[in-house]
Amino acid sequence: MSAKKKSLVPLFGVAFIVAIVSTGIFYGLFVGRLNSATAPPPAQAHVLVAAQAVPAGTVLKADQVKRVPWSSPVLPAGALGKAEDAIGQMVVDGLAANELVTASRLAAKNGGPVEGGSMGIPEGMRAVSITVQDSAGVMALLKPGHHIDIHVVANIQGPHGNEPQLRTLLENMQVLTVPRDSQMGRGNGQVITLLATPKEASMLGLADSTAKIRIALRNPVDGKTERSGSLAMGNVFHRPPPGPVPGQAPVAAAVPAARPLRQVEYLVQVASAENEAVTQLEAQLHESGRAPVGMLQVAAFRAGDGLQQSLAKMREQKTLDVVSSSQVQSGPKAEAGAQWALEAAKSGAGLKIRFAPAGQADGKVRLKVSPEVTTPGADGLRMRRVETEIEVGDGQSFLVRGLADASNLPVLWEKLFPEKHAEPKREMVVLVTPKLIRN
Residue 81's contacts (CB-CB under 8 Å, 6 or more residues apart) are: 45, 46, 47, 48, 67, 75
Question: How far apart (Å, rounded) are the C-alpha atoms in residues 435 and 267?
Answer: 8
The residue that leads in pLDDT, 342 or 174, is 174
The DSSP bridge pattern shows strands 264-273 and 427-436 to be: antiparallel
This model's pTM is above 0.85:
no
pLDDT in tens, 394-423: 888 998 888 877 777 887 788 777 777 667
Helix, strand, coil content of the chain in percent (nearest 5): 20, 35, 40
pLDDT in tens, 149-166: 999 888 776 555 567 888
Percent of the chain with pLDDT over 90: 2
Residue 14's contacts (CB-CB under 8 Å, 6 or more residues apart) are: none
The residue that leads in pLDDT, 24 or 428, is 428
What was the pLDDT predicted at 279?
A: 86
- Cβ atoms of 302 and 281 within 8 Å: the answer is no
Q: Exposed e or buried b for every residue in 245-274, given b needs 16+ CB within 10 A?
A: eeeeeeeeeeeeeeeebbbbebebbbbbbb
- DSSP-H helix ranges across 253-366: 275-283, 307-316
